[in-house]
Amino acid sequence: MTQTPAVESGDRSHALAPVESVAQISSVLRDADPSLDPRLAALARRAAADGVVLLRNDGVLPFAADRRIAVFGRAQLDWFAVGYGSGGDVKAPYSWNLLAGLRDVGVQVDDELAAATSAWTAAHRPATSAEWGRWPHHLPEMPVDDELVTTAAARSEDAVVVIGRAAGEARDSLLEPGSYFLTDAESDLLDRVTAAFARTVVVIDAGNVMDLGWLARYGDRIAGVVLAWQGGMEGARAVAAVLAGEIAPSGRLTDTIAATYDDYPSVVGFGDPEATVYAEDVFVGYRYFETFAPDRVLYPFGFGLDYAEFTQRVVRASTDADRIELEVEVANVGTEHSGRQTVQAYVSKPGTALAQPARELAGFAKTSLLAPGQRERLVLSIDLADLASYDDAGTTGHRDCWVLEPGEYRFAVGTDVRRAEPVASITLDEVRVIREAVEAAAPDPAAPFRRMTLERDADGRAVVGWEPVPTATVDRRERVLDDLPTALEPTGDRGIRLDDVAAGTATLDEFVAQLTLDELALLARGDLVMDSPLGTPGNAGVLGGVSASLRTKGVRPVTAADGPSGIRLSSYASLLPSGTALASTWDPALVRELAALHGQEMVRKGADVLLAPGMNLHRNPLCGRNFEYFSEDPLLTGRLAAAVVAGVQSQGVAACPKHFAANNQEAFRTRHDSRVSQRALRELYLRGFELCVREAKPLALMTSYNRVNGVWAHYHHDLVTTVLRAEWGYEGCVITDWWLESAVDPDFPALADNAYRVRAQVDVLMPGGVKTDDGPQAYADDTIVESVARDDGLTLGELQRGARNVLGLVLALAPVIDARATAAASPRRRCATATDASG
């Protein structure tokens, strides 16, 4: 039976029903919420399967129908379907485990061993903590002896050992057994099983990268390794389908798996309670390993094996002044298995003035399902402008600009970063300025540091060098004052409703000019508490129409629900694959299709804004929330996030990408300072957000808990106003993560807390209450109204500007909110709702 993560507060725990067959699913659905869409479940299974990464296979997989398989490890039953916290605590009506999944797809499992494992697991239920952020990283393994293993080997041809790991919000993984490393019991299990069986397959059920260095000591005794990223309620069944060959593995790694933890360049300072210096700069993940330490990689970025045998051939490479187009023919030249292949294109930049990684992902595409003998041509179109680097030091002569340096840009195509072969190049004769920007969110001169750069030894080999990071020079006070908007002249209530704006009979400015100071302040915060009575039960918070006066004027309350692996409400909802599982598909079209069905479920369940997708980079493998996020690469992150946003918003509801920005550690997350150069911030940690904003136009966006170069993200004028809004053209609503840290604006002492936040154009405090030493409180502070009355305080124009952003979100969501209210008011719907509740 799948373990259910504890929740932060309240009694919302639920047990997930164990599923033993497809027939039982129908029964479970009838007994739970009949509106759970079977199409969504089916597509979630496919996405989970397509995200499974096959790391090793000597021919043992897929399992032949006539082979009996002995399955070891309690995680086959206590399967981790997703990680912990707000991103995973979804009330799903069911969740598959691997044993049930294997039986469902017809694998002949050793029933005697399965019965023994089930009996032991039932008798040794773990003592799980209900305290937020104290969930187990693993569950104690069932002890085995030689007799148990050898008798199982006498009955079965092959073995599967299942290892489970979990991580989650507010708690990073740890460098200890049972988290990043194997436990002694797991090592003992592997020792005994690999000694008794000629071939063993290891299935790793995880949301985060864990140590895999132990694979080397078993050599070819471990014949197959499957990395089964947490795939939600259908995840274990999807993994079983891959093991049985019902679905071909096509997942590719979105992270580099290094030989040891200490090989990652981000280890220094990770987990520090005060600050972490992002000293590796742009050399994150494969950018570091392919440049400086290729010999320290177990599995490279983009890696994944297939059952089918593929060839890739570039049949055309055309270039002009602005782009390169690569046409690649993929052929399934095998004779037994169908499959899908991912084509990956990488660029090597000249590095004439700026230090550049050996390779960067420049484009990718995935084939359809190819049967033996079939072939398909994919076209990768790469804009040179998208390959620009950010010069934060003026090294190219163009400080604070996106530039293409002169020299040769070499392109390689292949199946992963390591196996990509050179196919084409473009040479620029002079530096090309792609976009002028301004200094923003630069490191504090009071906290200078040095960053990694590229140098060459006497033999021309890349070696790590170090250089000072450019620090801030901008007068922030002057910048903010230059940005202050002109206030609308207050008109008093003229009887204009928000519906009139929607109908085109009044302007939004005319509506906003009616609002009182108190109403403007109300729009700048949510309804104080989680599970607001103004929204769908179990909501994360409500914003918009939080007062009777606003609702009278037509401002609808907007329900926000946690994500991204489902809709976290009191009602049942689908538990979907984790962010890493989705990204491992390398298939934005599939993810968009899944997200559209998810958006339909939001409409049915009463969620207007989904707090998803999670977009922070996998800077370090220990970050507890990596399972919610996509990748160590910003291009892959941005493309997948744009797919999620486009899919969700195609249904009239909103997505809210998070956490903006540089939220790469859960420990001390509300106090921690991410100290990072402008270049790394823009090229890596903001780049995915930029792609998502420009391509998908999310209606909402959430700031992060942490500080960025000394300033909390929810106060960060440079990040939110200068970069997000002015440079990227974002016009949506920006909300905080839940609650904020108290602070006074260092340049405007008349602004504190929420007034400080509004000046940054962070429009809404969520859920709206005050955070104190005693915890969150269900009342609002008066900092906004008090600041407006003070000299050099918050201006009326700033409040009106924020109100426009919030009301724009309300207007976009009004059709769905109104349709839901109409349906709920009908007698037939009231009956259906009562039935749902009793179920």
Does 413 lie in the same domain as 304?
yes
Does 241 lie in the same domain as 300?
no
Q: Is residue 574 a part of any domain in this protein?
A: yes
| pLDDT, average across residues 640-645 | 98
Does 433 lie in the same domain as 303?
yes
Out of 450, 475, 493, a domain closes at 450
Does 210 lie in the same domain as 300?
no
Does 24 lie in the same domain as 150?
yes
Q: Is residue 225 a part of any domain in this protein?
A: yes
| pLDDT, average across residues 454-459 | 96
Helix, strand or coil for residue 646? helix
Q: Is residue 693 a part of any domain in this protein?
A: yes
Distances from the Cα of 296 to the Cα of 68, 256, 397, 635, angstroms: 37, 10, 36, 24
This prediction has a pTM of: 0.94
Q: Which tens digits make up the pLDDT trace of 305-353?
A: 999 999 999 999 999 989 999 999 999 999 999 999 999 999 999 999 9
Does 688 lie in the same domain as 615?
yes
Q: What is the residue-wise DSSP string for 323-359?
A: EEEEEEEEEE--SS--B--EEEEEEE---SSS---S-
| Residues assigned a catalytic role | 737
Whole-number pLDDT of residue 685: 98
pLDDT at 836 over 60: no
pLDDT grade for 130, boundaries at 50, 70 and 90: low
CATH code for position 396 = 2.60.40.10
Those residues whose C-beta lies under 8 Å from the C-beta of residue 74, and which sit 6 or more positions away, are 117, 120, 121, 139, 140, 141, 142, 162, 164
Does 670 lie in the same domain as 558?
yes
Cα three-residue angle 696-362-650, rounded to 5 degrees: 15
pLDDT grade for 780, boundaries at 50, 70 and 90: very high
Helix, strand or coil for residue 285? coil
Does 549 lie in the same domain as 437?
no
Those residues whose C-beta lies under 8 Å from the C-beta of residue 461, and which sit 6 or more positions away, are none
Q: Which tens digits make up the pLDDT trace of 588-604?
A: 999 999 999 999 999 99
Out of 419, 435, 450, a domain closes at 450
Whole-number pLDDT of residue 830: 40
Q: What are phi and psi of 185, to 5 degrees?
A: -65, -40
CA–CA dist 704, 738 (Å, integer): 9
Range of the domain at 782: 521-825
Q: Which tens digits make up the pLDDT trace of 82-91?
A: 999 988 899 9
Q: CB neighbours (10 Å) of residue 433? A: 14
pLDDT at 50 over 50: yes
Q: Is residue 835 a part of any domain in this protein?
A: no
Distances from the Cα of 48 to the Cα of 40, 351, 575, 614, angstroms: 12, 39, 11, 17
pLDDT grade for 132, boundaries at 50, 70 and 90: confident
pLDDT at 575 over 70: yes
Q: Is residue 776 a part of any domain in this protein?
A: yes
Does 560 lie in the same domain as 630?
yes
Q: Is residue 258 a part of any domain in this protein?
A: no
Helix, strand or coil for residue 193? helix
pLDDT at 30 over 70: no
CA–CA dist 359, 288 (Å, integer): 9
Q: Which tens digits make up the pLDDT trace of 478-529?
A: 999 999 999 999 999 999 999 999 999 999 999 999 999 999 999 999 999 9
Q: Which tens digits make up the pLDDT trace of 363-400?
A: 999 999 999 999 999 999 999 999 999 999 999 999 99
Does 299 lie in the same domain as 241?
no
Q: Is residue 337 a part of any domain in this protein?
A: yes
CA–CA dist 81, 95 (Å, integer): 7
Largest Cα–Cα separation, the chain: 86
CATH code for position 117 = 3.40.50.1700
Total tally of structural domains belonging to the chain: 3
Out of 193, 228, 249, a domain closes at 249
CATH code for position 574 = 3.20.20.300
Q: How many residues comprise the chain?
A: 839
Q: Is residue 216 a part of any domain in this protein?
A: yes
Q: Do residues 799 and 755 touch, judged by C-beta distance below 8 A?
A: no
Does 356 lie in the same domain as 234?
no
Q: Which tens digits make up the pLDDT trace of 200-226?
A: 999 999 999 999 999 999 999 999 999
Whole-number pLDDT of residue 509: 98
Does 801 lie in the same domain as 711?
yes
Angle between helices 38-50 and 588-605 (to 10 degrees): 150
pLDDT at 3 over 80: no
